[in-house]
Structure 1
Amino acid sequence: IHSFPMEHTSDLLRLISLYRFGGIYLDMDIIVLKSLEKLPLNYVGAESNYSLCNAVIGLAADGIGHEVAELFLERYVKYFNGKAYAQNGPALVTAVLLKFCGTSLMKAMEDGRKSCKGFRLFNTTAFYSIPWQEWRHFTEPRYLEETMERTKDSLMIHIWNIASRRERIKVDSNIAYVKYAEKYCPRTYAVAGDYF
């Protein structure tokens, strides 16, 4: 029995695609704040001090990128659990890369590519400055200044659509989500109508 069929299918398809072609996978609710063109492939980011996330994955089509993609797929097949939301996504990426790096998550984040065979584990600031538990920071005016400050050094932000998807966002709202959309997604913002 599968409790999260769409999510687990997405988990698998991103891994297969990265294994086959390499490249950058981004969840649909990621807003890119800084160009990724000069960012070397073979990276993921931490969503906390003890867990990586699979909403952003950059892998080369060969070398360690391909090796890590293969390890991801092997673990997916071996430990698939249709009832656990994070088992086949963040938990999988965390388990594989901790073993691959042979060190703690904190050490691998601090040392950059040095302590993980050339693979990079970004700290939470890079992609997930606002953790999923605080998703309302993107949708409520009272958090605007704090959210903009906390994400000022981020490469991208994750809006956590799993939690925020039922929110009706007015295009002229004074909230972080609208400010980011207006600046970094101007075409989408321009055609959105009254609500996102």
Structure 2
Amino acid sequence: MDEFLHQESCSIRVFMAWTMPPSQLSLTVHHQQTLESHFHLNACVVVLSDTIENDFFNTFLQKGFKVAVVQPNLHELLANTPADVLANVWVQWWHKIPLFHLHNTNLLRLGVLYKYGGVYMDMDVIVLKPLDSLCNTLGSEILANGEVCLNGAIMAFNKCSPFLRQCPEEFTATYNDTLLEWNGAELVTRVANFSTGNGVRSFQKQVLLREGKVRLSFFSFSRYFVAPTDKQQQVEEKELLTRIFEELFATHFWSRLTAVVVPEKGSLVETIFYQYCLHCTDIL
């Protein structure tokens, strides 16, 4: 890991995680386009995974991408953090908890960013703007009711960030394996909003988060995977697409809902997928 990340040609460190069991190793074209969407050909991309073979991304390497598959070591990633105690029991829970792969990803991204610093992205996030300007920043989403909440689908932090040290402490103290977002988006939101004023577990958001939030758009519904059928829809989607490219750093295509959905030619989603692709093939 250290040798790979300290190449002189690494302009930015990007981390991803694939924690699905071997029986569910179903990387799709959507995941390929996540890699293709990086603006930085000199980015060093590390995919943390126990199940992806080391040579899985050889076609990307041949195109000049710097991608490495690394088997995560939780003892190393969580050393000297409050979550280190979890490393001893984590593997034992693998087959006992239905949503374990989600909780595992949540823990890995906190550990790897704390230890190395850089950008973490879910493997179903499409990059729309350069990421090298991001620092101490979390993704955010706007809910249907207009409320803005934080989301860990994209995170950019310095090595040993105080915010990221606070997150494993909250993870360990409040861990709940029955709730979908409790250890993920809700955890980073709790920590960002948490301030006791006692000088022990408090922090100033404007100092630790700086820019604070990078807006994401989420496409888990089928409408934008289908090409518009009338002029009114065409106008609306063109305006939406303009806003997306102007305002957003990334879009998040929830793969658990859209992995097998193929965007139609001329659809908004298809335009986003192929706007910045560098490899641009249809087979992973």
TM-score by length of 1: 0.76
Query: Residue 3 of structure 1 aligns with which residue?
Result: 98
Task: State the SS of the aligned residue for 1:28.
Answer: coil
Distance 1:31 1:46, change over 3 A: same
Say yes or no: does 1:185 pair with 2:277: yes
Give the alignment partner of residue 59 of structure 1, picking from 157, 166, 185: 157
Query: Residue 110 of structure 1 aligns with which residue?
Result: none
Q: Which runs of 5+ in 2 are unaligned?
A: 1-95, 198-203
Distance across 2 between alignment mates of 1:186 and 1:70? 36
Aligned ranges for residues 35-114 of structure 1 at < 5 Å?
35-39=130-134, 41-48=135-142, 49-62=147-160, 66-99=161-194
Shift of 1:83: 0.9
RMSD (CA atoms): 2.5
Aligned length: 170
Largest Rg, 1 or 2: 2
Say yes or no: does 1:24 pair with 2:119: yes
Shift of 1:100: 5.2
| 8 Å contact from structure 2 (residues 218, 251) kept in 1 | no
Query: Residue 88 of structure 2 aligns with which residue?
Result: none
Say yes or no: does 1:148 pair with 2:246: no
Shift of 1:101: 10
Identity of aligned residues (%): 23
Shift of 1:42: 0.1
Distance across 1 between alignment mates of 2:207 and 2:183? 24
Say yes or no: does 1:158 pair with 2:277: no
Compare the two structures and name the one with the higher strand fraction: 2
Task: State the SS of the aligned residue for 1:19.
Answer: helix
Task: State the SS of the aligned residue for 1:58.
Answer: strand
Compare the two structures and name the one with the higher helix fraction: 1
Distance across 1 between alignment mates of 2:101 and 2:132? 30
| 8 Å contact from structure 2 (residues 119, 156) kept in 1 | yes
